[in-house]
Amino acid sequence: MFSKLALIMQLMLFYTYMNYFDLLAQMPPFALFIIFLWSLLWKGLALWRAVRNEQRNWFIALLVVNSIGILEIAYLFGFAKKKMKLEELKFWELMQRSSS
């Protein structure tokens, strides 16, 4: 009986002090929106590329795992059958032209 009670107490303490959702409430909404757009851009590109390359397992992993773009970028530039190059990103070319 004592071990069950101790386990319940430990779980209650864990959930009380390890609630990371409080950090989201402290972030400004604009920052959350920027993170959302960043993640959406890379997730869309990676899912589109996985379908075009017929890599079903990568598609499922990219669809399920939310990594704020990290897994998506790693897939696009490292693990895809046809790896993406920076020249393929249209906005990258526009940034280079405008800085010249």
**pLDDT tens string for the chain (100 positions)?**
557 777 777 766 666 555 566 666 677 888 888 988 999 999 999 999 999 999 899 899 989 888 888 888 888 888 888 887 777 776 656 566 666 6
Give SS3 for 85: coil
DSSP string, 3-56: HHHHHHHHHHHHHHH--THHHHHHS-HHHHHHHHHHHHHHHHHHHHHHHHTT-H
Calculate the alpha carbon distances from 76 to 23, 32, 62, 98 in Å.
30, 24, 11, 25
Closest to 61 measured CA to CA, from 76, 49, 71: 71
Say what the pTM is.
0.62
